[in-house]
Amino acid sequence: MLSRWTNFLTSDGEKEWRRRDEEFEDNIKTKMELEQKWTKGWYCLFNTLNSLQEHDFSKTIYIRNQGHSVIEAINRQLAHYPYHIGQMVFIGKMICGENWVSLSIPKGNSNSYNTEKFSKEKRNEHFTDEILTSKTIMNKNEIIANIHIAHTQFWKTASHLPNVHKSANDKWSVAQNVEHINISLSRVSNYLALSKSIIESNFGLSLRASISNEELIENYYKAMGNGIKAPPAFIPKANSEIKISMLITEGENSLKDCIFNLEKWGEEDLDKYNCPHPVFGKITAREILYFTIFHVQHHHKTIANHTDASQ
């Protein structure tokens, strides 16, 4: 994925830095490392797909010097990934045996499944809608992987942009966006470092289950529609000339601290303890982590559009 989708339109899909033979070696040591690599690949894919414009579909891209239309290249990967995912599913079924939970219609449930489907009127909808509209509850390892990848990709983009201290149309500069993310990440890290007794005393315990990642994002967009602004404590300096590399290093250190502090939390703790948020009020620790992922992704899109806005 990283080879195919990095600089998708401008460089060969088989990168010089790819070491394909090494990909068959069993050198991933931990589940966290596995999830980080998995998330990084999918993030690269979807980030590229989301950036494509209509006029890009008339372009030719190359894989090992073999020309493909953009649609052909996408379809090539669309055939490739399910093949390998099918292998993983097959291995999973063998490992789990009778404990395997079916990913489709469980054996013996076909009649009841069809009865439920045919009880509804005919309609036009994509067959994946039921899956794509399901609510996502990330576990701690998934949260850690997503936080790491989202921030790393954000800083990578920021480090390669020109005019990082130049703002346009009363918007923050790239450097100010980075500083804002650093402030937010540091606040989350400091919260996670608190003892549970202090958190309970200051913010209380949650009396409800955590909402899904999608619901939290939807609530934030609604709040944005009502004109919310960053609180003063989260606003970056107006004319900071600090080097972008120094800001990124500062952020990377906060990220390490954040993940280190989060590792000490149990899975149930993420739904048990409240955390203050300047827009939502008191939300669960799991929800503040969802927001942390979404927040940096939101600002990543902002700085990615910065070059055009500042010219």
User: Per-residue pLDDT tens for 69-106?
Assistant: 999 999 999 999 999 999 999 999 999 888 887 888 88
Residue 211's CATH number: 1.20.120.450
Tell me: the pLDDT tens digits for 147-161? 998 999 999 999 989
Look up the domain containing 163 and give its range. Answer: 140-310
98, 113, 132: which is the final residue of a domain?
132
Answer yes or no: do 78 and 209 share one domain: no
Answer yes or no: do 164 and 226 share one domain: yes
Residue 294 has pLDDT above 70, yes or no: yes
Q: How many CA atoms lie within 13 A of 141 on its CB side?
A: 9
Average pLDDT over residues 254-274: 95
Residue 262 has pLDDT above 70, yes or no: yes
Answer yes or no: do 45 and 92 share one domain: yes
Answer yes or no: do 249 and 173 share one domain: yes
Average pLDDT over residues 100-127: 84
Answer yes or no: do 53 and 115 share one domain: yes
Distance between CA atoms of 176 and 306, rounded to whole angstroms? 12
Answer yes or no: do 21 and 151 share one domain: no
Note the pLDDT of residue 165: 86
132, 150, 175: which is the final residue of a domain?
132
Distance between CA atoms of 51 and 152, rounded to whole angstroms? 18
Q: How confident is the model at residue 238 (pLDDT cuts 50, 70, 90)?
A: low
Residue 309 has pLDDT above 50, yes or no: no
φ/ψ of 261, rounded to 5, equals: -70, -40
Q: How many domains does the chain have?
A: 2
Please report the DSSP string for 38-85 in residue order.
HHHHHHHHHHHHHH--GGGGG-EEEETTEEEEHHHHHHHHHHHHHHHH
Residue 226 has pLDDT above 80, yes or no: no
Nearest to 182, CA basis, from 154, 201, 202: 154
Answer yes or no: do 113 and 176 share one domain: no
How far is C-alpha 260 from the chain's CA centre? 19
Which of residues 233 and 90 earns the better pLDDT score? 90
Q: How confident is the model at residue 40 (pLDDT cuts 50, 70, 90)?
A: confident
110, 132, 154: which is the final residue of a domain?
132
Note the pLDDT of residue 299: 93
Answer yes or no: do 181 and 204 share one domain: yes
Q: Is 65 exposed, middle or buried (CB count within 10 Å of its CB: 0-12, 13-18, 19+)? A: exposed
Answer yes or no: do 78 and 161 share one domain: no
Note the pLDDT of residue 132: 60
What pTM did the predictor assign?
A: 0.64
Note the pLDDT of residue 106: 80
Which of residues 298 and 240 earns the better pLDDT score? 298
Q: How confident is the model at residue 271 (pLDDT cuts 50, 70, 90)?
A: very high
Q: Taking the CB of residue 236, how many other CB atoms lie within 10 A of it?
A: 19
Nearest to 87, CA basis, from 36, 41, 24: 24
Answer yes or no: do 226 and 127 share one domain: no
Average per-residue pLDDT for the chain: 89
Note the pLDDT of residue 131: 63
Q: How confident is the model at residue 311 (pLDDT cuts 50, 70, 90)?
A: very low
Answer yes or no: do 106 and 242 share one domain: no
Distance between CA atoms of 193 and 77, rounded to whole angstroms? 42
φ/ψ of 167, rounded to 5, equals: -105, 160
Residues 6+ apart with CB under 8 A from 306: 161, 163, 168, 173, 174, 177
